[in-house]
Amino acid sequence: MAAVLSEFAASRGMECRLLSLCDPHELQRLIVGDREFSYTGSDRSKARFTATAVRTARRGAKLVVAAHPNLAPVVRTMRMAKRGLRSIVCTHGVEVWEPLPALRRRALASANLVLAPSHYTADHVVTDQKVARDKVRVLPWGLDPQFEALAAKSSLSAALPAEFPKGRVVLTVGRWDAAERYKGMDTLITALPKLLTRWPELQLAAAGSGDDRAWLQRIADENGVKRHVHFLTGLSQEQLAACYDACEMFALPSRGEGFGFVYLEAMACGKPVIGGAHGGALDVIEDGVTGYLVPHGDASHLATSIDTLLSNPAVAKEMGQRGRERVENEFRFNVFAKAFRKILRELCES
C-alpha cells in the first residue's frame, strides 16, 4: 500500500509521508518490486506517533490512510486538526470479527472509507463495528511482486532447504503460536495416521516459526507420525517459493484467515490448495475448482480431501493450473495497485 501511495502521489505532484508506530525513530527505506520508498518510525511511542500525525495533517494533508483499525482514533484526531481531510482505514480479519472497544469502533465508523480484504471481513465490519455498508469496500490484497517473480522462475530446486523431506509432500505455512491454533496445523497432524496406511511415503512439511512447536511435536509423537512431520524455520523468500514449487499440495485448514496470502502463494506456484471453509478463504479458494474447503477441526474430512488429490494427480494438476490462472487474473500486485489507485482517485477528487 505504501508503494502504491508513493507512486500515486508522485504522479500528481503531491508529497506522500509515511509514518510507522513501531519502527526506530530514524529514516527507513523499503523496496517493493522496482519501487523504493522511505518512512519514519516512532519507537512504539503512541504520543510521538499521534503528535507527528497531527502536525502532518495541519500542513495541508488531503488524505490519510491507516493500515490497521487500531489506528482509527489517530485518524479521527487528524481530521479534527485539519478540516476536510479524507480518510481510509484498512481492516484485515480477526481483529474486527468481534466488536472493538467503543472509542475505536466510533473512530472506525467515522472514516470516509473502510477497506476489507474479503467479503467475510467486510460483513463483520458492518455487523460488529456498525460501519455503514456504503462506507465499506472489499479490496483483495495482492501478491508481493518479488514473490511473483520467484513463482515465475522455471526452476527453484537449487534453493530448496536441506531439511525439506523426500516423498509426497503436503506443505503448510504459518506461525506456530498458541494464539493462532485456529490455523489448524494440529488437525493436519491428526489426519496423517489415516493417510499413512495408504500412502506410507507421505510427509508433512510445516514452514514457519513460533513458540508452539513443542506442542505440535507432542501431537505428532502421540499420533505416531513424528517421522513424517518436518518443521522448517528461518526460510528466505526464495527457499519458501522453492518449498511451494516442490510440494504436491498446500493445506491450511484454518477457521480464522482474514484473507489468506499463503493460499495465493501456493496457487501462484500452480498447487492445489486445501483451506478451512471459513473466513476469507472463501474468497480465495474455489471449492472443487482450485482446491477444497473443509470444516475446521474435521480431521476425517481433511484426510479425504488430501487422499483425493493424492489419488488423482491429473486432477490435482488441473486444480493447480486453474489456481495459477486465477491469481494471474485477480490477485497479482498490479491488479491490486490498479484497484487501490482508483480508490485514491475517488477520495482525492471528491
pLDDT above 70 (res 240): yes
Per-residue pLDDT reduced to its tens digit, 59-114: 999 999 999 999 999 999 999 999 999 999 999 998 999 999 999 999 999 999 99
Q: Are residues 127 and 225 in the same domain?
A: no
Q: Are residues 241 and 311 in the same domain?
A: yes
Sign of CA dihedral 66, 72, 74, 79: positive
Q: Are residues 116 and 239 in the same domain?
A: no
Which residues lie below 8 Å from residue 52, measured CB to CB, with a gap of 6+? 19, 40, 42
Q: Are 38 and 61 in contact (CB under 8 A)?
A: no
What's the rounded mean pLDDT across residues 160-177? Answer: 94
Q: Are residues 74 and 39 in the same domain?
A: yes
What's the confidence (pLDDT) of residue 299?
A: 96
The burial of 268, by beta-carbon neighbours within 10 Å (0-12 exposed, 13-18 middle, 19 or more buried), is given as buried
Q: DSSP letters along 72-117, please?
A: HHHHHHHHHHSTT-EEEEE--SGGGSSPPPHHHHHHHHTSSEEEES
Q: Are residues 149 and 275 in the same domain?
A: yes
Which residue segment(s) compose the domain that 240 sits in?
145-331
The burial of 95, by beta-carbon neighbours within 10 Å (0-12 exposed, 13-18 middle, 19 or more buried), is given as middle
Q: Are 232 and 207 in contact (CB under 8 A)?
A: yes
Which residues lie below 8 Å from residue 219, measured CB to CB, with a gap of 6+? 186, 189, 190
What's the rounded mean pLDDT across residues 281-303? Answer: 95
Q: Are residues 327 and 196 in the same domain?
A: yes
235 — pLDDT class (breaks 50, 70, 90): very high
| % of the chain with per-residue pLDDT over 70 | 99
What's the confidence (pLDDT) of residue 168?
A: 96
Q: Are residues 134 and 169 in the same domain?
A: no
Q: Are residues 316 and 168 in the same domain?
A: yes
What's the confidence (pLDDT) of residue 65?
A: 97
What's the confidence (pLDDT) of residue 32?
A: 74
What's the rounded mean pLDDT across residues 215-236? Answer: 96
What's the rounded mean pLDDT across residues 262-286? Answer: 94
Phi-psi region of 73 (alpha: psi -120 to 50; beta: other; left: phi over 0): alpha
What's the confidence (pLDDT) of residue 265?
A: 95
Among 128, 252, 127, CA closest to 189: 252
33 — pLDDT class (breaks 50, 70, 90): low
Q: Are residues 218 and 322 in the same domain?
A: yes
CA distance 192 to 173: 17
What's the confidence (pLDDT) of residue 95?
A: 94
For residue 145, what are the CA distances in angstroms to 34, 76, 114, 239, 336?
9, 32, 24, 16, 11
User: How many folded domains does the chain comprise?
Assistant: 2
What's the rounded mean pLDDT across residues 312-319? Answer: 97
The strand order across the sheet containing 273-276 reads 229-232, 202-207, 168-173, 249-252, 273-276, 291-294
Q: Which residue has the cell 475446521?
A: 296
Q: Are residues 97 and 230 in the same domain?
A: no
User: How would you label 315-337 residue by residue, b for 16+ Cβ within 10 Å and e otherwise?
Assistant: ebeebbebbbebbeeebbbebbb
CATH number at residue 131: 3.40.50.2000
What's the confidence (pLDDT) of residue 278?
A: 87
What's the rounded mean pLDDT across residues 158-177? Answer: 93
What's the confidence (pLDDT) of residue 350?
A: 73
37 — pLDDT class (breaks 50, 70, 90): confident
Q: What is the mean pLDDT of the chain?
A: 94
Among 190, 97, 149, 124, CA closest to 332: 149
Q: Are residues 29 and 89 in the same domain?
A: yes
Q: Are 293 and 277 in contact (CB under 8 A)?
A: yes
Q: Are residues 102 and 152 in the same domain?
A: no
The larger pLDDT score, comparing residue 335 to residue 152, is at 335
The larger pLDDT score, comparing residue 32 to residue 6, is at 6
CA distance 275 to 287: 9
